[in-house]
Structure 1
Amino acid sequence: MALKKKRASRNLAHGRPPVLQKPKSISRKATKTLINSIHVLEKRKAQAVAKGNVAEVAKINAEIRALGGIEKYQQASLQGQRTDRGGDSSKVLMEWLKPAYAALKAAADAPFRMLEVGALSTTNECSSSGLFSMERIDLNSQGEGILQQDFMERPLPRDHSERFDIISLSLVLNFVPDAAGRGSMLLRTLEFLRKPVASTDEKLDEFLPSLFLVLPAPCVTNSRYTDEPTLEAIMNSLGYVQTRSKITQKLVYYLWTRKNTSAGHGESFAKKEIRPGGSRNNFAIVLRVPPG
């Protein structure tokens, strides 16, 4: 006589949705291909939206979904934060801030505030340092501690207490699909950063308030429309001064300290070719600011 199969026990967890599993590792080549593909599709979609081509927008959205959508993109981005893929970009920021550690630690009762836009983790270097009161936002939150929010739609600060000492845009600006949108994002950072006020600590004045900006290196090293002098001119027009920079084969890192509160009005930057050649990319920043 055949043995009866033992019925699996049922408990409260049985009816719940599956627990989020750790995604399988994506190869370095597949990671790069996926990220580049979604960037291209997002740019095409922005062009279709601008032309009012509804059918083309729907088609591109389907292509993005077929690749796994924003969730798959973020999975690829998280893979890029692994130590063997270059690691957490905020490590560079924390290394730069070392001269100001003593002053940052002294403010433990009223810590300095950091806004991390496009946050993928709550355990990166800046979060685990204990030096900041962190706020993290992303278009598609990957877990607790990260608010699902579009920076361009975030409510403006009501007063000084709601502004930040550091804003991190790490591999965020390059994901904005059009040049004018990138300029608008940079301009909007001024609404959320605290205004520069001289303190009793020169190190703090050197580094804060500031914008930490990370981009793929080709955005400034191989673009038809953007190089380091062009980027610096745009940032200077907004009242930022370059405090630190680092260029690697894959990424460029900048720390821009806000020095001038009256900037950001009147000076605009159009899309202008500065490096001709068929091998160049089209990354650009168009800045249109109202007269002040």
Structure 2
Amino acid sequence: MAVKKKRQPKSLSAGRPPTLQRRKSISRKATKALISKHHVLEKRKQQAAAQGDRAKEASIDAEINALGGLESYQEASLQGQRDDRGGDSSRVLMKWLEPCLSSRKASSDRPLRLLEIGALSTQNACSKSGCFDIQRIDLNSQEEGILQQDFMERPLPRNDSEKFDVLSLSLVLNFVPDPKGKGEMLRRTVKFLHEPDRYLASPTLTASFPSLFLVLPAPCVLNSRYMDEEKLFAIMTSLGYKKTASKTTQKLVYYLWRKDPSSPPIGQTFSKTELRAGSFRNNFAIVFK
């Protein structure tokens, strides 16, 4: 009779969720198609909800789940952060902030606080820099060190200790299906940043902080019926932001917006107005009412 082998106890790592396992690579074409499909379905779901069509909303939910849900969208987004597909967008932020951060590395000053909204990894350039005290949040946390939280439901700061020097909103705003929701998200970012006069004692910091790092797919600004750079700048100015840096690539647009004491919020209204005609345009829009 064969002797049964004693079963070894599983290690703690064996109990970790599948999201922590090595991710399978998918092609660039498949990545783009998956992200695009998610955006279309989320928009249709939002429209169905607004119309009170519960049956259609449930049907679209089933389609989203069939694609793998939010997890599959995040998986595709993580694939896009690979070096051979454009890489980590926070490297652009670090390059822009390097002049003022380099003077602080040997300093005993308090670390700058960064809130990363829609965080997918704890190993990006900002995390590895050692320059920030980082809080990371995402709707569906992919790993330890990222709090599962909706930014729109995050409690507003009660005092300065709960505010931040930098907010990162990289490839998040475009995933909000409702134009009004996009506007509310941008409006909310202002409340989480310190006031500009906090940095008056340091001219180096005053030039860059407090700031919002905003990254969008390039077509959202360059090929939308309802959005162009002029309108985006008008929206950000109305919130009290001033552009300090920008970069455009074939796929993405990057912006660094500083909360500017000389540009207080003016509460303008922005509607979904067609700026460019054409059947090949997309419908990205930001609405303030």
What is the one-letter code of the residue matched to 1:205? Answer: T
The letter of the residue matching 2:62 is: A
Deviation (angstroms), 1:201 = 2.6
Q: Cα deviation per residue 1:240-292 (whole Å; 9 max; x = unaligned)? A: 0000000000000000000038733531111111101111000000012xxxx
**More displaced stretch, 258-267 vs 89-98:** 258-267
Change (3 A) 1:129 1:148: same
Q: CA deviation at 1:52?
A: 1.0
Shift of 1:153: 0.1
Structure 1 residues 236 and 140: alpha-carbon distance in aligned structure 2, compared to 1, 3 A threshold: same
Query: Partner of 1:284 in structure 2?
Result: 285
The Cα shift of 1:108 comes to 4.4
Does the 8 A contact of 1:183 with 1:287 survive in 2? yes
The change in CA–CA distance for 1:18 and 1:146 in structure 2 (over 3 A counts) is closer
Q: Hey, what's the Cα distance between the residues in 2 that align with 1:216 and 1:118?
A: 15
Give the aligned residue type for 1:145.
G
Return the alpha-carbon distance in structure 2 between the equivalents of residues 19 and 131 of structure 1: 30
Structure 1 residues 14 and 108: alpha-carbon distance in aligned structure 2, compared to 1, 3 A threshold: closer
Q: State which of 9, 16, 21 in structure 2 corresponds to 1:12.
A: 9
Match of 2:90 in 1: 90
Aligned mates of 2:221, 2:67 — CA distance in 1: 27
- Output the amino acid matched with 1:54: R
**Partner amino acid for 1:258?**
K
Task: Classify the secondary structure of the residue corresponding to 1:177.
Answer: coil
Give the whole-Å Cα distance in 1 for the aligned partners of 2:147 and 2:107. 25
RMSD: 1.9
- The count of residues paired between Structure 1 and Structure 2 equals 285
8 Å CA contact 1:245–1:253 kept in 2: the answer is yes
Answer yes or no: is the 8 Å Cα contact 1:104–1:112 preserved in 2. no
Unpaired segments ≥5 residues, structure 1: none
1:99, distance to aligned residue in structure 2 (A)? 1.2
**Partner of residue 33, structure 1:** 33
Deviation by residue 1:103-149 (Cα, 9 ceiling, x = unmatched): 43255451010000000000100111000100000000011110000
Q: Select between 30-39 and 19-28 the one with higher mean Cα deviation.
A: 19-28
Matching residue of 2:116:
116
Aligned-pair distance for 1:12?
A: 2.3
Q: Which moved more, 1:14-23 or 1:131-140?
A: 14-23
The residue that corresponds to 2:210 in the other structure is 209
Q: Which residue of 2 aligns with 1:227?
A: 228
Q: Distance in 1 between matches of 2:106 and 2:269?
A: 40
Q: CA–CA distance in 2 between the matches of 1:236 and 1:126?
A: 26
Q: Report the Cα distance in structure 1 between the residues aligned to 2:183 and 2:128, rounded to whole angstroms.
A: 31
Q: In the alignment, is residue 140 of structure 1 matched against residue 137 of structure 2?
A: no
| 1:1-292 correspondence to structure 2 within 5 Å | 7=4, 9-13=6-10, 17=15, 20=18, 21-105=21-105, 108-197=108-197, 198-260=199-261, 263-288=264-289
TM-score by length of 1: 0.93
- Name the TM-score, length of structure 2 as normaliser: 0.94
Question: 1:206 Cα shift?
Answer: 1.1
Instruction: Tell me the SS of whatever aligns to 1:193.
Output: coil
Distance 2:159 2:185 in 1: 20
Q: Distance in 2 between matches of 1:81 and 1:18?
A: 23
Output the amino acid matched with 1:58.
A
Q: What runs of 5+ residues in structure 2 fail to find an aligned partner?
A: none
Shift in CA distance, 201/30, structure 1 to aligned 2, threshold 3 Å: same
Q: Does the Cα contact within 8 Å between 1:118 and 1:138 map onto a contact in 2?
A: yes
**Secondary structure in 1 aligned to 2:247?**
strand
- Per the TM alignment, residue 23 of structure 1 is displaced from its structure 2 partner at its CA by 2.0
Find the residue that maps to 2:99 and give its secondary structure.
Answer: helix
- Residue 237 of structure 1 aligns with an amino acid whose one-letter code is S
1:140-194 deviations in Å (ceiling 9; x for gaps):
0011110000000001111011100000000000000010000000000011011
- What percentage of residue pairs aligned between the two structures are identical? 61
